[in-house]
Amino acid sequence: MSVSSGEFKRMLQEKGFKLTTQRRTVLDVLQNNKGKHMTAEEIHEIVRQKCPEIGLATVYRTIQLLQELKLIDKLNLDDGYIRYEIGKFNDDNHHHHHHLICENCGKVIEVEDDLMGTIEERLESEYNFKITDHKVKFYGLCKDCK
Ligand SMILES: [Zn+2]
Ligand SMILES: [Zn+2]
Ligand SMILES: [Zn+2]
């Protein structure tokens, strides 16, 4: 599900920011490229087609803001780049998703289910620790490389 302009505007206002075409465009680029994992430079390239005057620094700042709003997630897929992707939305919450990384061809597969809830519950009670987030990557061989 995507974030509507109204919703996005409200989220920005809560943080003291205004909805601008540039901010909307950066979010749209990430929303339209679901499942791709883009670097700030790649996002900048696409955003520039609509906002030719936008600089890379502004794209970086906007990415930072979208992360604070929990609309996008930052990823490290072990290829030496910092990448970003849109979060996953459903009716009442947002969740990042997890990735399967093929060690042979480098393909990255999205895992739809979170499956981490039971593990978190167990860790929380065993270690008396409040978990707020997790990052999970699985390594192996994809179906073509297996
Ligand atoms: Zn992903
Ligand atoms: Zn593979
Ligand atoms: Zn998760």
What is the number of the ligand closest to the CA of 108? 1
Instruction: Decide which of 116 and 146 is more confident.
Output: 146
| Centre of ligand 1 from the C-alpha of residue 100, in Å | 9
Strand partners, 94: 89
- CATH code of the domain in which 88 resides: 1.10.10.10
Ligand 3 centroid to residue 96 C-alpha, Å: 6
pLDDT at 3: 83
89 and 105 within one domain: no
pLDDT at position 26 is 97
Query: Which of helix, strand or coil describes residue 57?
Result: helix
- Looking at the fold, whether 115 and 48 belong to one and the same domain comes out as no
CATH code for the domain in which residue 135 is found: 3.30.1490.190
CB 110 within 8 A of CB 95: no
Compute, in angstroms, the gap from residue 17 CA to the centroid of ligand 2.
42
pLDDT of residue 39: 97
Residue 130 CA to ligand 3 centre (angstroms): 15
- Same-domain check for residues 76 and 119: no
Ligand nearest to the CA of 38: 1
Mean pLDDT taken over the chain: 90
The pLDDT value recorded for residue 146 is 95
**pLDDT digit string, tens, across residues 127-140:** 999 988 888 899 99
Which residues, chain by chain, have CB under 5 Å from ion ligand 2?
102, 104-105, 107, 142, 145
Report whether pLDDT(92) > 70: no
**Any idea which ligand is nearest the CA of 33?**
1
Domain count of the fold of the chain: 2
Is the overall model pTM greater than 0.85, yes or no? Answer: no
Domain that holds residue 121: 97-146
Predicted local distance difference test score (pLDDT) of residue 54: 96
What separation in angstroms does the CA of 31 have from each of 14, 134, 140?
21, 22, 28
